[in-house]
Chains A and B, each alone.
Chain A
């Protein structure tokens, strides 16, 4: 059992993508989640999947800054995993009405809904990036994600000067945005 302060630190670590914090959260909570999944018609692999997804939900929350834990971290994770797992069972028509609630849970429907929406955005962006191909993909990643400067990029991609690289980057950006928003808007309708 960890104190609120300790758990807040862990969440901060998670938000910063810190491997140690991630590992600690796994160590502290996975066994409980796995026991729940296995008791309810699942396998260890399902537990790993569900837990991973729950960690992503938690990550998004922790990063938003406005999030404070109103309960034990374990209760929160358990609630999310439970919701995710029930949904999965339902989708696979394996719904098991005998799921009993012994543990304490908190309402997490909003989080799940938000997560599902954002998850599809994630997939759109990922596939859009794949679709624009090379060197566009690496060019945009270098500028927007690795935050490299234009002269640096011009140098490593072999453009004659930074302006050239910039023009190229602009063209790639327009293409990526077009593909991303096409999917995004289609999903919204």
Chain B
């Protein structure tokens, strides 16, 4: 906080708000401390620049005003029609009319867009189903219990939280230190979250980021029994995927991991949503949050929802959105998440790719 006082002093010194005694003292201080002298110079320069910017902004505004006033009076455009092509002459002449027309067009299109988006927003909820399996029934739950008990008997599993899940979805690692990507709608309203790998090891997890607008969430495994996993085999491309690109996914629409394949059918999502793709793949409740991977082993998207009254119309969030999410997490929480940079899936047959992948796709459960 010392800097705070120093800045304060510099500002008062610069604005001549110090009394004689204080001023002398400050000047003495400046003379004897080259560091402080340097700071005074730097801070004053900075404030000069700040004030200059604001004045220049005002000036630019005034210049524009003067310009448009003269244009309206015809003083600017009047005198030299002959030197330039007719189109410019016409442009100058009808500039105002065009401006008015453009403004009206702008307002009309904006308001139409608002109405449409409002309308479609409400509709969206009606026909789009998030792919979370909320129907984990008692029977299935019991089955899991038995299964786990059986496993308990044979192997010493690390953690077995006593946990009754209400829903199940999918997530996958983005950083071997325990960061997973899933959908925001998966984790919203969840009190407790656990993730489970293919082997059945369960870990408690917490949400570190969730954005309902992009429907992305990032979880962090908080369990102490979790050991860092290395060698995430996939990467996240920064460019957009191509139409008709073959894709596949792994997810947990059942208690067991399920493979599905399809193709990219449109470069935008529901109602032209450019943050997602439309893909054709068989997806069921529980597939939410699963990675959509192309033949090179790049995660191009994350499965989020499907259209209820159409067949095979599934939407996946573009993976470019992940980078925004990572930036946000870094800004808000100071956590740096490093997505994998080496792709070890490229060039392998599908069966081999899936085998490599399985260990990194998790079941996300919660209540």
**Interface on A for B, CB 8 Å cutoff?**
17, 19, 22-23, 26-27, 30-31, 34-35, 38-39, 43-44, 48, 52, 55-56, 59, 63, 118, 121-122, 125-126, 129, 140-141, 144-145, 166-167, 170, 173-174, 177, 180-181
Q: Assess A170 versus B7: contact at CB under 8 Å? Given A22-B62, A122-B53, A144-B47.
A: yes
Question: In the bound complex, do residue A44 and residue B53 qualify as a contact, i.e. CB atoms below 8 Å apart?
Answer: no
Question: In the bound complex, do residue B59 and residue A19 qualify as a contact, i.e. CB atoms below 8 Å apart?
Answer: no
> Please, which residues of chain A bring their CB within 8 A of the CB of B160?
none
Other than the given A23-B66, A145-B54, 20 more pairs (CB < 8 A) read A19-B65, A23-B69, A26-B70, A27-B75, A34-B76, A35-B83, A38-B84, A44-B92, A56-B59, A63-B55, A121-B49, A121-B53, A122-B52, A125-B52, A141-B54, A144-B47, A144-B50, A167-B4, A174-B3, A181-B46
Total interface residues on B, CB under 8 Å, equals 35
Q: Assess A125 versus B50: contact at CB under 8 Å? Given A19-B65, A26-B67, A31-B79.
A: yes
A35 nearest CB neighbor, chain B only:
B80
Q: Assess A177 versus B60: contact at CB under 8 Å? Given A19-B66, A38-B80, A44-B88.
A: no
> Please, which residues of chain A bring their CB within 8 A of the CB of B69?
23
Query: Whole-angstrom distance from the CB of A189 to the nearest CB of chain B?
Result: 17
B214 interface hit (Cβ, 8 Å):
no
**Interface on B for A, CB 8 Å cutoff?**
1, 3-4, 7, 46-47, 49-60, 62-67, 69-70, 75-77, 79-80, 83-84, 88, 92
Q: Assess A30 versus B92: contact at CB under 8 Å? Given A56-B56, A167-B4, A177-B46.
A: no
> Please, which residues of chain A bring their CB within 8 A of the CB of B63?
22, 52, 55-56
Question: In the bound complex, do residue A26 and residue B77 qualify as a contact, i.e. CB atoms below 8 Å apart?
Answer: no
B65 nearest CB neighbor, chain A only:
A19
In the complex, what distance in Å separates the CA atom of A63 from the CA atom of B80? Answer: 34
Question: In the bound complex, do residue B59 and residue A126 qualify as a contact, i.e. CB atoms below 8 Å apart?
Answer: no
In the complex, what distance in Å separates the CA atom of A141 from the CA atom of B1? Answer: 22
A180 nearest CB neighbor, chain B only:
B46
Question: In the bound complex, do residue A125 and residue B67 qualify as a contact, i.e. CB atoms below 8 Å apart?
Answer: no
In the complex, what distance in Å separates the CA atom of A27 from the CA atom of B52? Answer: 26
In the complex, what distance in Å separates the CA atom of A135 from the CA atom of B103? Answer: 31
> Please, which residues of chain A bring their CB within 8 A of the CB of B79?
31, 34-35
Can you list 16 A-B contacts with CB-CB less than 8 angstroms, sorted by A residue number? A17-B59, A22-B59, A22-B62, A23-B66, A23-B70, A27-B70, A30-B76, A34-B79, A38-B83, A39-B83, A43-B84, A52-B67, A59-B59, A122-B52, A145-B50, A170-B7
